[in-house]
Structure 1
């Protein structure tokens, strides 16, 4: 097909955007600046652990595997580079490396990746869009809410709040999302927008900032041909606005194939073709590799030879792959290197040259307080279905009424029963908030990685918004429980004793929730975190001073790190005094001191200052540990 005919056909497939000029913002306007992306001899190596072969093997074998094997290329403003290759060929690894998102500790990346002949800076990174394959989005936010919150976080303060919202709404319109703008995103078990609409929302999040660089991982994966065509048409139009677009793609239709300016074909991490997409078939024909049939989708043919499947069935796949790599080195590599090196002279021209000017950006687009406010509102909107869940409220109501009935008007005459209720309160409100909070960060890991990698907000703003956003239900539910159970059970009727018990219980809930946050952030796996949390809380429970009163010395230290132990002691101090009387002896005819009661004596009536300080330290300490654990999320080697 003639290149001019292809270009005309593509332009005919894209909606005329003249009307966009009337909108406050157009996604198809020119990029603020142009960026030339170059990569030279990029090698990426990871260490892979092999599973144990037999039960008596004591150590896992670790081998070093090279994912990318010396890749070189260049993508200029206005071009779309499509990276094509079989599964496992290194497409996503290269895209991640080029986008500056290789996680620390995951592997060793060598070679040179430059942006206008400079390393990746924070300024460039914040004007870079990166669309992941799995579309990490909050399921309970609507399409409009998703884009508006993104605009408020990513667009700079030079743009007023109202204008940011208008830009988000303009993106909704221009991406054809008006029909579903008030529909929630949805998830695996939650009905929401379609796959194509999800993908357009993900792209919309990135193009809101009018990026100079746009990376996309499998943007057409799982979509029908018509939807895929619409997605690639949007990318084509964005590139014509002076952006540099890099995308991985698995098996595009022939119609999509000719929309890509450049093509990089990978086979087992090796390059076998880099150049104009329209010249790929001619190149392979010139070196002796032609399809066995006349009319074939070019991408099908290219994937076949990248997999080692040629017209000569007698040739082994490994031999064909090795031959293709050698042919590439002989026929194309020097041309690619010359193109990369030749572009350096252009970039030495004064400002205004094709390389453009690299603008200095501040560390953050918005202030800490703005980030905190937007993240808090977004978090409350996303979690409104869960935080104010009728099921959760009913659960607490049932437990509180059941406790009130079981301990109905116990009074001090049934001291053993009363302290049993106090211990149950410390146990229940240890486990409940722990398991509510332990899933927080594992569930949001993908979103946190995505947004932190793009420099959307400070980690401290996110963390504080999450902590503050959870406070209402963290404090309302235990208050509801105590307001019902306390008076039904006949605990100390003085109002100051009720307030002291409430204060202790609320602090206990916050400390237990903090432990859940810390465990979740440290482990980042829901099953493992749940198991670890159960073991720790059971250990605290057994050492809490109710079940075992004479704990052996070698294990007695557990009580001094037990949340339940300190809470139980403060609850007792909040109910009784050491010199208070209670009926004892046969038929309760005698009077005994509460301080001498066997179940209380080993706890003691000393000062409550030490347990209060211990809980205060845990309140801060667990959250500090959680924050430190989160600092590793979203970090990359390239900035």
Structure 2
């Protein structure tokens, strides 16, 4: 098994590798408008925002919950600011308007929730980030040097070969995960770094540690860092250079952190000695705590005084200067950025998915053991079924159980896929991967493991249950079970793509499997099945084709003995041409279920088509339903 130390890094995709191309990042009149849910009238959730941050500076976007911090951060990064929102205003880098494509090339965005693969190590995480991000002009040696330098810069040398952490195996601490998340985005040397709540879930000590590492990197590499942050400690707050204070989507202050206490003292809201300045400012404008209207009145006063303040006029002048001063850097819109080979991204995702698949027991290992146990259960319950007619119905039950419950247990794949999906969405938002590469790697990696599961289960259950003792029949059983599992997992991928919440995805996938069991043709034979369920759902039910294929495989070439009465006559459960000889042909059983024997090839084609359909729908969901 190759390790990521051997990963070829001199042919990998991404944004670019341009250093020191952004002197300043500014915005003016950035507004976000949504429709009011009740009146459907335009509702402004962010207005009159402006600011400027220079290379090497860190800006804290701060305010009470719901103040517009993340909305502003997303608007500045040219991400969807809110569902159904309309964003207007100027966002500029080096004094020129920065489009979404330009920002994607010169910036990186680190989301609040960790988008990390738990079963790979710190160094592997960094190397895969490099493979997804660095252009082909960067040599393998340079890429690995950059990876190791970042690991050292963020104090993760001792954890370089430690996995991030899974529900089964502990890995990094919360602070280490935060540092790794930021480091993995810095491997491309972005000039602008957007951070959404980088200290969420951390105590004050870990929060200060994370921000301190980021500040050091920002100053050393001349980065513009803009971070939304909620209620930092005094130590963490003072690590920032600038502060943008928001309340109700309006600006309350923009300027240096050091000057903030003096400004609020001047406008009549002095800070008590030994008070955390961040807490003082948040309490000052937190309208959620308003009981008698006092806080709301005070907050509006703070907003109005900021709008008329000399500090705001000076800020406006600084932005004008940035716009009209000839740039010392080349125009960002004219930068010639390298384009990576189209095949490199899919291969990187494939390699990463392979490592996860054999290392993360939640992905497939637990399922292999689970299906082995299910095979032992089935084989011992339906143990050595005879060829007497009394064993026909139990044999049919065993076929249904083998296909339907194997399909149903595919819901165990939901948590592993959701972890991959979360990582994909983060990487996609940074312009690194697309849905086709992600779903392609997911599909290919699943094939050998699902085939292994099919073989393990069948080897136990098939022979213990005394299904048709023929090598070709055994291989056909494996084929049907493999198609069954592949369709079931494809259904899970589709459902989880539509409903990317664990409990919801689990419930919907379980419900869908229950539906397929009910209309498959076993619980209610086709002649008796309600026409609605028959024509709306039965013909798109992959379990129905698997059941029919397994039935033909077992009963198409096998005979069964009828009971003999006391007078020597035969009593046969299924009518047929050989009843007079005390024999029931397997085809007589198939006729009772309205199953034809000459449609096996067609059923296989339909099952493959259903699998392809699920995957295509999942692609369309990820392609057009961005979240």
Asked if TM exceeds 0.5, the reply is yes
Superposition deviation, residue 355 in structure 1: 7.0
Hey, what does 1:422 align to over in structure 2? 399
Superposition deviation, residue 620 in structure 1: 0.7
Please state if 1:373 is matched with 2:365.
no
> Which is worse superposed, 353-362 or 171-180?
353-362
Counterparts of 1:586 and 1:103, CA distance in 2: 78
Hey, what does 2:269 align to over in structure 1? 289
Please state if 1:410 is matched with 2:402.
no
Hey, what does 1:460 align to over in structure 2? 436
Hey, what does 1:431 align to over in structure 2? 408
Hey, what does 1:565 align to over in structure 2? 544
Please state if 1:161 is matched with 2:153.
no
Please, which of 37, 53, 78 is the counterpart of residue 75 of structure 1? 53
Hey, what does 1:450 align to over in structure 2? 426
Hey, what does 1:534 align to over in structure 2? 510
Please, which of 25, 36, 44 is the counterpart of residue 32 of structure 2? 44
Counterparts of 1:30 and 1:109, CA distance in 2: 29
Hey, what does 2:530 align to over in structure 1? 552
CA distance 1:209–1:545, change in 2 (3 Å): same
Please state if 1:147 is matched with 2:134.
no
TM-score, structure 2 as length reference: 0.85
Matches within 5 A, 1:29-178: 31-47=19-35, 65-102=43-80, 105-116=83-94, 117-178=96-157
- Residue by residue over 1:251-301, the C-alpha shift from the partner in whole angstroms, topping out at 9 and shown as x without a partner, is 44445444433221112221111123322222233333323x355443343
* SS of equivalent residue, structure 1 residue 82: strand
Hey, what does 1:4 align to over in structure 2? none
Counterparts of 2:153 and 2:229, CA distance in 1: 24
Counterparts of 2:332 and 2:367, CA distance in 1: 56
Superposition deviation, residue 308 in structure 1: 6.7
Superposition deviation, residue 217 in structure 1: 2.5
The answer on whether the counterparts of 2:367 and 2:412 sit within 8 Å (CA) in structure 1 is no
* SS of equivalent residue, structure 1 residue 135: coil
Please, which of 288, 292, 301 is the counterpart of residue 323 of structure 1? 301
Counterparts of 1:535 and 1:314, CA distance in 2: 49
* SS of equivalent residue, structure 1 residue 302: helix
* SS of equivalent residue, structure 1 residue 87: coil
Counterparts of 1:48 and 1:608, CA distance in 2: 56
Superposition deviation, residue 231 in structure 1: 3.3
Superposition deviation, residue 197 in structure 1: 1.7
Counterparts of 1:432 and 1:285, CA distance in 2: 64
- Residue by residue over 1:170-202, the C-alpha shift from the partner in whole angstroms, topping out at 9 and shown as x without a partner, is 211122111222222236775322222222112
- Residue by residue over 1:429-463, the C-alpha shift from the partner in whole angstroms, topping out at 9 and shown as x without a partner, is 22122x13444543444322211111122221111
CA distance 1:306–1:486, change in 2 (3 Å): same
CA distance 1:484–1:221, change in 2 (3 Å): closer
* SS of equivalent residue, structure 1 residue 38: strand
Hey, what does 2:519 align to over in structure 1? 543
Please, which of 219, 222, 242 is the counterpart of residue 262 of structure 1? 242
Hey, what does 1:584 align to over in structure 2? 562
TM-score, structure 1 as length reference: 0.83
* SS of equivalent residue, structure 1 residue 340: helix
- Residue by residue over 1:136-186, the C-alpha shift from the partner in whole angstroms, topping out at 9 and shown as x without a partner, is 322222222221221221122111234322321221112211122222223
Counterparts of 2:200 and 2:593, CA distance in 1: 67
The answer on whether the counterparts of 2:204 and 2:236 sit within 8 Å (CA) in structure 1 is no
CA distance 1:195–1:407, change in 2 (3 Å): closer
Hey, what does 2:371 align to over in structure 1? 396
Please state if 1:273 is matched with 2:253.
yes
Counterparts of 2:175 and 2:253, CA distance in 1: 30
* SS of equivalent residue, structure 2 residue 116: coil
> Which is worse superposed, 515-524 or 335-344?
335-344
* SS of equivalent residue, structure 1 residue 410: coil
CA distance 1:355–1:621, change in 2 (3 Å): closer
The answer on whether the counterparts of 1:411 and 1:491 sit within 8 Å (CA) in structure 2 is no
The answer on whether the counterparts of 1:46 and 1:108 sit within 8 Å (CA) in structure 2 is yes
> Which is worse superposed, 589-598 or 194-203?
589-598
Counterparts of 1:359 and 1:263, CA distance in 2: 31
Hey, what does 2:489 align to over in structure 1? 513
Matches within 5 A, 1:173-192: 173-186=152-165, 191-192=170-171
Counterparts of 1:221 and 1:408, CA distance in 2: 55
* SS of equivalent residue, structure 1 residue 278: coil
Counterparts of 2:58 and 2:90, CA distance in 1: 21
Counterparts of 2:297 and 2:593, CA distance in 1: 82
* SS of equivalent residue, structure 1 residue 40: strand
The answer on whether the counterparts of 1:448 and 1:633 sit within 8 Å (CA) in structure 2 is no
CA distance 1:289–1:491, change in 2 (3 Å): closer
Superposition deviation, residue 64 in structure 1: 6.0
Hey, what does 1:385 align to over in structure 2? 360
The answer on whether the counterparts of 1:85 and 1:303 sit within 8 Å (CA) in structure 2 is yes
Counterparts of 1:245 and 1:613, CA distance in 2: 54
The answer on whether the counterparts of 1:441 and 1:524 sit within 8 Å (CA) in structure 2 is no
- Residue by residue over 1:119-138, the C-alpha shift from the partner in whole angstroms, topping out at 9 and shown as x without a partner, is 32435313312222333322
The answer on whether the counterparts of 1:436 and 1:513 sit within 8 Å (CA) in structure 2 is no
CA distance 1:334–1:500, change in 2 (3 Å): same
- Residue by residue over 1:2-42, the C-alpha shift from the partner in whole angstroms, topping out at 9 and shown as x without a partner, is xxxxxxxxxxxxxxxxxxxxxxxxxxx99342253222211
Counterparts of 2:274 and 2:377, CA distance in 1: 75
